[in-house]
């Protein structure tokens, strides 16, 4: 009987478990779901039971296990939250309420709105009790494991939502096993062909890898013992999705992945971690630039380890992860370790609160988004970009670590440090050198914000370059402090720059029908009010050009059809399956556009422009350079290939961030 298994396992770490209460919850759920079936034909009770079994590995508490059994009762049966509270208490009722989706009846004409509103509700409750997130993750994991029984289009939709929302949550909470399982299942449904081919390559390579790993482990253990270091040494399998991600991100072949071979070393304290690093480097030569110290600078989810990639046995690239027992504990169980584990329960209350806060600051960011953004679409998009995408770690001059989303610029950093610091920012001192405040930051940068008392307000054009909702909110609030006339002047100035940038009409010669088009679309009283709203940041800058001109008027006619993404460079087709184009990606058009740039010439400028555009997956088709001696500048006419308007906007932002690019615009 499943409940007997769960009770037995739970009692191993919950000696005071109320077995009667746990069994009562299971029996109640079984009666409530009686007659209901899952899509695979099994009785519905199998689902909450599997959710509980998943969370047993995290050694969750009694209330959480009970909430696992009951998490679908309110949504799918006649029983109410009030009834759950009367039977099992307020804590369980709160957990169940947090996981329960909103009524299907209310949203029967807009199920997307139901989904997003349910996410809003879910995060609101999770901010008060993160156990709700753990239940939801386990619920989603079991649903993904049984996804083969739903129709194809629903499989793809659920897999994409899981990858965009739930995988990043698992990552932020540091629950590594749940994250890895979810990623691999999403990979299977989103890119089925690549999954099968990669699984075949891994399977073929396994015997060879196991031999090298066994020899490596033996050699390292022998050398550590000789140096008087006690350690646990064992191999770490790399998930299929993490291999796939590296092949995509770095354009590598399967055999070129650095950490297919991975070994984990667990020791007693931090000092020993660094001693082990020295021992490993004395055994195997390290690869240049592949040593990462996540002990000194932990990841956003609190993850700590030393990483190094070396040329191992027979020259095979091998990654080592070195950590303490406590770091390993947290890496495996993330935030769950601080909620449930008795090994850490003895820490002082202040330390406990600090540890919880360290892993849940993103929840506050979600709540800030909820207050600021009324539109469901804006909330979901900002959630993905501002909170759930990859993070970077930059430093203040005093060594404090600032966590920002990838692609963040200096202005994001400024507003993160202080509410109005960005308002007065004029330059950055980046790693000792001055640069623009719109420079894109990267992990490891040391950033200082230089300000001027003469700058009272932020620049309107920053709204198109920043990445964080916090910076966007601060800029809009500051811009709204301007007088009506100041807003009008700022809006007119911004429109002039925008029209020039896209190489279209001057603002003075903009036809009346075009003005009327914008006034009506943005529901303004007249052109003057429209410019005021542009100036105070009320009108999204990316929507202005989009509603003023057609895509063809800006980008011109499309060129031949291409696939936008390639999987990897092909290997020897006789030895391994040929991995090329991602499945589920359709051919799309690209556009050749001509850009004019006026620059201050220097050695390496064209190279740097090329690197900036290559990072955006933008190809340079043609370049023509001429000198302009009278102005001591150089003119560049460049033909580049873009896929869409958004990518063109990214090109503009990249060029804006370059100090030596004085002026540029689109040529027609």
Catalytic residues: 75-76
- Measured N-to-C along each axis, helices 62-70 and 90-99 cross at an angle, to the nearest 10 degrees, of 50
* Alpha-carbon span 209 to 438, nearest angstrom: 45
DSSP one-letter string for 131-195: HHHHHHHHHHHHHHHTGGGS-HHHHHHHHHHIIIIIHHHHHHHT-HHHHHHHHHHHHHHHSHHHH
**Residue 657 in tokens:** 């961030």
**Residue 60 in tokens:** 């969750």
- Which whole-number Å values give the CA distances from 582 to 181, 248, 257, 586, in the listed order? 21, 10, 18, 9
- Angle at the Cα of 420 from the Cα atoms of 415 and 425, rounded to 5 degrees: 75
**Residue 398 in tokens:** 């005093």
Strand-pair partners of 633 = 628
**Could you identify the residue written with the tokens 């709105």?**
113
DSSP state of 43: B
Residues 588, 643 contacting (CB under 8 angstroms): yes
Helix (H) or strand (E) holding 637: strand 633-642
Residues 323, 266 contacting (CB under 8 angstroms): yes
**Could you identify the residue written with the tokens 């202080």?**
418
Q: b/e for 383-407, b at 16 or more Cβ within 10 A?
A: beebbbeebbbbbeeeeeebebbeb
Backbone torsion region of residue 632, taken as left when φ is above 0, otherwise alpha when ψ lies between -120 and 50, otherwise beta: left
Question: For residue 332, how far is the Cα from the chain centroid?
Answer: 20
**Residue 424 in tokens:** 């007065």
* Alpha-carbon span 278 to 263, nearest angstrom: 15
Question: For residue 243, how far is the Cα from the chain centroid?
Answer: 17
DSSP one-letter string for 439-473: PBP-TT-BEEEEE-TT--S--GGGGGT---HHHHH
Strand-pair partners of 596 = 637, 665
Sequence-ordered list of residues with C-beta below 8 angstroms from that of 623, at least 6 positions apart, any chain: 606, 636, 637, 638, 639
């Amino acid at each position: 009987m499943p409940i007997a298994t769960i009770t037995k396992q739970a009692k191993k770490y919950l000696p005071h478990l109320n077995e009667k209460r746990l069994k009562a919850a299971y029996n109640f759920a079984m009666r409530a779901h009686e007659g209901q079936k899952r899509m695979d034909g099994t009785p519905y009770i199998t689902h909450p039971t599997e959710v509980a079994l998943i969370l047993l590995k995290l050694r969750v508490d009694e209330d959480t296990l009970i909430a696992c059994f009951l998490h679908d009762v309110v949504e799918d049966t006649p029983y109410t939250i009030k009834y759950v509270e009367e039977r099992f208490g307020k804590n369980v009722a709160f957990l169940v309420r947090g996981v329960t989706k909103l009524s299907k009846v209310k949203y029967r004409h807009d199920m997307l709105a139901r989904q997003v509103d349910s996410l809003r509700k879910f995060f609101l409750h999770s901010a008060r009790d993160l156990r709700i997130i753990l239940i939801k993750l386990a619920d989603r994991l079991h649903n993904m494991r049984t996804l083969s029984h739903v129709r194809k289009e629903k499989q793809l939709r659920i897999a994409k939502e899981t990858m965009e929302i739930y995988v990043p949550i698992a990552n932020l909470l540091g629950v590594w096993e749940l994250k890895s399982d979810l990623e691999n299942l999403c990979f299977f449904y989103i890119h089925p062909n690549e999954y099968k081919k990669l699984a075949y390559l891994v399977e073929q390579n396994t015997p060879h890898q196991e031999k090298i790993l066994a020899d490596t482990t033996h050699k390292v253990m022998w050398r550590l013992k000789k140096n008087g270091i006690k350690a646990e040494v064992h191999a770490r399998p790399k998930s299929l999705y993490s291999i796939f991600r590296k092949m995509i991100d770095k354009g590598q072949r399967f055999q070129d992945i650095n950490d297919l071979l991975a070994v984990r070393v667990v020791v007693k304290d931090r000092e020993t971690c660094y001693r082990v690093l020295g021992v490993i480097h004395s055994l195997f030569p390290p690869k240049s630039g592949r040593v990462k110290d996540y002990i000194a600078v932990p990841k956003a989810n609190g993850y700590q380890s030393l990483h190094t990639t070396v040329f191992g046995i027979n020259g095979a690239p091998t990654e080592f992860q070195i950590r303490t027992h406590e770091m390993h504990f947290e890496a495996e169980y993330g935030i769950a370790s601080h909620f449930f584990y008795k090994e850490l329960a003895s820490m002082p209350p202040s330390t406990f609160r600090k540890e919880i806060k360290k892993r849940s600051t993103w929840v506050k960011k979600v709540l800030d988004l909820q207050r600021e953004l009324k539109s469901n679409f804006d909330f979901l998009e900002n959630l993905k970009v501002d909170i759930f995408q990859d993070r970077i770690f930059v430093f203040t001059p005093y060594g404090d670590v600032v966590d920002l989303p990838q692609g963040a610029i200096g202005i994001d950093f400024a507003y993160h440090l202080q509410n109005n610091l960005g308002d007065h920012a004029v330059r950055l001192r980046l790693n000792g050198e001055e640069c623009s405040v719109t420079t894109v930051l990267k992990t490891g940068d040391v950033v200082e914000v230089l300000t001027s008392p003469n700058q009272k307000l932020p620049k309107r054009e920053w709204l198109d370059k920043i990445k964080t909702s916090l910076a966007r909110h601060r800029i809009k609030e500051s811009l709204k402090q301007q007088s009506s006339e100041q807003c009008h002047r700022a809006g007119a100035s911004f429109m002039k720059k925008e029209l020039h940038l896209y190489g279209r009409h001057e603002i003075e010669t903009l036809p009346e029908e075009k003005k009327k088009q914008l006034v009506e679309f943005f529901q303004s009283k007249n052109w003057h009010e429209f410019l005021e709203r542009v100036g105070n940041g009320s009108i999204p800058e990316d929507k202005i050009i989009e509603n003023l001109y057609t895509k063809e008027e800006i980008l011109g006619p499309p060129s031949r059809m291409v696939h936008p993404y390639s999987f990897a460079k092909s290997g020897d087709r006789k030895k391994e399956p040929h991995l090329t184009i991602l499945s589920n990606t359709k051919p799309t058009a690209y556009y050749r556009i001509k850009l004019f740039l006026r620059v201050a010439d220097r050695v390496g400028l064209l190279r740097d422009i090329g690197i900036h555009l290559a990072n955006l997956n933008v190809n340079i088709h043609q370049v023509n350079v001429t000198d302009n001696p009278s102005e001591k500048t150089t003119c560049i006419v460049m033909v580049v290939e873009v896929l869409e308007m958004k990518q063109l906007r990214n090109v503009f932002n990249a060029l804006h961030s370059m100090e030596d690019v004085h002026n540029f615009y689109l040529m027609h």
